[in-house]
């Protein structure tokens, strides 16, 4: 971030320049009407990195003292005569602007300065701006994206990102995502994990809204970090910590009505919302089957979190069959990729250390059907693992909840219709367990 000290003795001009600069992103403005006051600002704020000054704003003695104390800080200076260099010997002048055209030229100069940040050819990772509140102060520089190749450093490593910054960037400047350089992602992940672990130790459980939003942020972060770094140990640990937190706060026999009402307003985030809901519904069914245990909840919740990993299109993630996927306009190659997404996600999970073996089986089988008409293998009920059958029914139910008619989701109507698909014994038991859920909206 450019932290600018603007020095101008003409209050009207100072106000005008401040107004012009405040319209720019990635700048923070402090002002002073003379060098004495400017010195006070420099003493108080140790991180000013650009001075914009009219050299006439004060007495020579004050100017000399001030110039000495800021000799290493970049300075844009306004002059009546651009050839006049006597007064500016002590500044680290990077640009001189004619005083008469200062207001009009300053904006252009600042924009140029911001773009001079040498960020080309570096890899960046996108993170949700809100997570900065939880991970602040972060020992990593934070950037805003200006274009496909240009990023602007907004916060320096160690800067505090507080609620006021959050409001400024998300509400006023509409910056939903910030960026970290690839080489500082590890620092970010470790801070994020310790924040999740600390949160898990709290006694007060978060609301469904908070958990659902945390799930979305964690999911996006894990996916983005995997794209940039690969599914490294740290990224795996982030996924595990998040899922452990979800399980720790999970009401093991929840009344899901409130949750359903919330989910309806979350359309457009199908991938993360259906994963979150899937975790709850599959664990609730497991409880009704009397399979309740921390280990089972962890397996189902981790499978829910990672089962569609690699799919970024919400409409595609909602497809249950290859025919539905094809109808979204996929070409043959894309259709094959969709068909194989359970394999790919399962292989990803196999890389994780200290994970129960069933998780990759659940993920690999999440689109299979008991009659053998599912994918990717097309296996029948006899070859579908018991926990997979819970997951498959829960996954189907979640989709039906999301695309329910306006009058709402009706569990009995769903179960009646689902009976035809899930006739085999293990699936019949799962449907019987699902019947005990309190799901009517
Ligand atoms: Fe899927
Ligand atoms: Fe899914």
How does pLDDT run across 344-398, given as a tens digit for each residue?
999 999 989 888 889 999 999 999 999 999 999 999 999 999 999 999 999 999 9
In a domain, 69, yes or no: yes
Give the percent of the chain with pLDDT over 70.
90
Rounded to the nearest angstrom, the distance between the alpha carbon of 301 and the centre of ligand 2 is 12
Q: How far apart are CA 209 and CA 194, in angstroms?
A: 21
Q: Are 280 and 425 part of one and the same domain?
A: yes
In a domain, 130, yes or no: no
Last residue within a domain, chosen from 62, 85, 115: 115
Q: Closest Cα partner for 1 from 183, 174, 178?
A: 178
Rounded to the nearest angstrom, the distance between the alpha carbon of 338 and the centre of ligand 1 is 8
Rounded to the nearest angstrom, the distance between the alpha carbon of 373 and the centre of ligand 2 is 17
Write down the pLDDT at residue 254: 57
Write down the pLDDT at residue 405: 83
Write down the pLDDT at residue 87: 55
Rounded to the nearest angstrom, the distance between the alpha carbon of 366 and the centre of ligand 2 is 8
Rounded to the nearest angstrom, the distance between the alpha carbon of 245 and the centre of ligand 1 is 23
**85-89, 270-274, 323-327: range with lowest mean pLDDT:** 85-89
Q: How far apart are CA 75 and CA 7, in angstroms?
A: 11
Write down the pLDDT at residue 208: 79
pLDDT digits (tens, 9 = 90+) for 153-169: 888 888 899 999 999 88
Rounded to the nearest angstrom, the distance between the alpha carbon of 426 and the centre of ligand 1 is 21
In a domain, 175, yes or no: no
Task: Please give the distance of CA 232 from its chain centroid, rounded to a whole number.
Answer: 18
Q: What does the DSSP 8-state code read for residue 138?
A: P
Q: Is the pLDDT confidence value at 6 over 60?
A: yes
Write down the pLDDT at residue 332: 93
Rounded to the nearest angstrom, the distance between the alpha carbon of 364 and the centre of ligand 2 is 11
For the chain, what is the domain count? 2
Give me the mean pLDDT over the 36-59 stretch. Answer: 80
In a domain, 255, yes or no: yes
In a domain, 215, yes or no: no
Nearest ligand to residue 311 Cα: 1
Rounded to the nearest angstrom, the distance between the alpha carbon of 206 and the centre of ligand 1 is 28
Rounded to the nearest angstrom, the distance between the alpha carbon of 38 and the centre of ligand 1 is 60
Q: Is the pLDDT confidence value at 410 over 80?
A: yes
- CATH code, 104: 3.40.50.2300
**pTM for the complete prediction?**
0.72
Rounded to the nearest angstrom, the distance between the alpha carbon of 363 and the centre of ligand 2 is 9
Higher-confidence residue of 130 and 61: namely 130
In a domain, 134, yes or no: no
Instruction: State how far the alpha carbon of 414 is from the alpha carbons of 38, 283, 441, in Å.
Output: 70, 19, 13
Give me the mean pLDDT over the 6-31 stretch. Answer: 84
Rounded to the nearest angstrom, the distance between the alpha carbon of 111 and the centre of ligand 2 is 44
Last residue within a domain, chosen from 115, 150, 169: 115
Rounded to the nearest angstrom, the distance between the alpha carbon of 367 and the centre of ligand 1 is 6
Last residue within a domain, chosen from 115, 135, 167: 115
Neighbours of ion ligand 2 (CB under 5 A): 308
In a domain, 121, yes or no: no
Rounded to the nearest angstrom, the distance between the alpha carbon of 271 and the centre of ligand 2 is 7
* pLDDT confidence bin for 312, thresholds 50/70/90: confident
Query: 111-116: long-range contacts at Cβ-Cβ below 8 A with a sequence spacing of 24 or more?
Result: 111/24, 113/2, 113/50, 113/74, 114/2, 114/24, 114/26, 114/146, 114/152, 115/146, 115/150, 115/152
Q: Domain range spanning residue 281? A: 250-435
Write down the pLDDT at residue 441: 45
The answer to whether 422 and 414 have CB atoms below 8 angstroms apart is no
pLDDT digits (tens, 9 = 90+) for 240-285: 999 999 999 886 555 566 666 666 655 568 898 899 889 999 999 9
* pLDDT confidence bin for 289, thresholds 50/70/90: very high
In a domain, 193, yes or no: no
- CATH code, 371: 1.10.3210.10
């Amino acid at each position: 971030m450019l932290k600018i000290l603007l020095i101008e003795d003409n209050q009207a001009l100072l106000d005008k320049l401040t107004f012009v600069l405040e319209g720019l992103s990635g700048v923070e403005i402090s002002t002073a009407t003379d060098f004495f006051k400017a010195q006070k600002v420099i003493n108080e704020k140790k991180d000013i990195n650009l001075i914009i000054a009219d050299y006439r704003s004060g007495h020579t003695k004050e100017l000399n003292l001030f110039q000495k104390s800021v000799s290493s800080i970049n300075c844009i200076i306004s002059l009546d005569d651009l050839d006049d260099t006597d007064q500016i010997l002590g500044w680290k002048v990077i640009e001189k602007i004619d005083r008469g055209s200062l207001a009009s030229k300053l904006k252009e100069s600042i924009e140029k300065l911001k773009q001079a940040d040498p960020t080309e050819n570096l890899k960046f990772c996108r993170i949700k701006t809100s997570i900065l509140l939880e991970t602040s102060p972060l020992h990593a520089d934070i950037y805003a994206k200006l274009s496909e190749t240009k990023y602007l450093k907004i916060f320096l490593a160690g800067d505090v990102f507080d609620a006021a910054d959050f409001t400024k960037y998300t509400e006023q400047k509409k910056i939903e995502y910030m960026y970290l350089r690839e080489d500082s992602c590890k620092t970010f992940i470790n801070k994020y994990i310790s924040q999740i672990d600390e949160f898990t130790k709290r006694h007060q459980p978060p609301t469904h809204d908070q958990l659902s939003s945390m799930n979305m942020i964690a999911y996006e972060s894990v996916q983005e970090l995997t794209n940039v770094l690969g599914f490294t140990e740290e990224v795996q640990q982030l996924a595990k910590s998040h899922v452990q937190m979800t399980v720790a706060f999970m009401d093991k026999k929840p009344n899901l009505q409130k949750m359903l009402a919330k989910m309806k307003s979350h359309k457009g985030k199908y991938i993360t919302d259906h994963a979150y809901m899937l975790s709850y519904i599959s664990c609730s069914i497991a409880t009704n089957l009397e399979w309740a245990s921390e280990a089972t909840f962890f397996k189902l919740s981790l499978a829910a979190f990672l089962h569609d990993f690699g799919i970024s299109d919400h409409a595609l993630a909602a497809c249950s069959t290859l025919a539905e996927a094809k109808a979204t306009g996929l070409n043959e190659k894309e259709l094959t990729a969709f068909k194989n997404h359970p394999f790919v996600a399962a292989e990803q999970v196999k890389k994780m250390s200290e994970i129960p073996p069933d998780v990759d089986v659940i993920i690999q089988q999440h689109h299979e059907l008991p009659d053998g008409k599912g994918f990717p293998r097309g296996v029948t009920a006899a070859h579908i693992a018991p926990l997979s059958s819970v997951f498959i029914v829960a996954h189907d139910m979640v989709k039906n909840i999301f695309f329910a008619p306006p009058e709402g989701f009706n569990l009995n109507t769903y179960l009646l219709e689902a009976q035809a698909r899930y006739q085999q014994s293990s699936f019949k038991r799962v449907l019987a367990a699902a019947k005990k859920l309190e799901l009517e909206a």
